[in-house]
Amino acid sequence: MIVVTTSEVPGYRIDAVLGEALGVVVCTTVRPGFSSGLRAGNGGEVPEASTSAYHSRREAISRLVTEATSRGANAIVGMRQECDSIDTLTQFTAYGTAVVIEAIPAGQPGSTPQSARVVDA
């Protein structure tokens, strides 16, 4: 699955647009020992929070890919991520447009070395 933040994939043409796809992860922000780093007041990074945010964002993207794949997509264009907090919950959302793309063969306008290799494979 190709996932890009752009509206196009260089070297590929979009053959079908299957609609918006979404991946959501909601986490609690209250964990035992989690706030101890915040209370320290040193203004530094809170490693546990960074690790949790990273994994939650990756999981939201994984769920986005799963939804797009279930619709028959082989790519997602215009992927975006958002993070919202409500009370003790944090929601990580990844969304984009599920599409079917096809590599442009070598020698044709818009072809790239990468897409030409896909066609030849």
Q: Give the start-to-end residue ranges of the domains of the chain.
A: 2-120
User: Was domain 2-120 assigned CATH 3.30.110.70?
Assistant: yes
Place 101 in a pLDDT band, splitting at 50, 70 and 90. very high
Instruction: Kindly state the greatest CA–CA separation across the chain.
Output: 61
Residue 44 backbone phi and psi in degrees, to 5:
-85, 180
- Condensed to tens digits (0 to 9), the pLDDT of residues 40-65 reads 556 677 788 888 889 999 999 999 99
Residue percentage of the chain with pLDDT more than 70 = 85
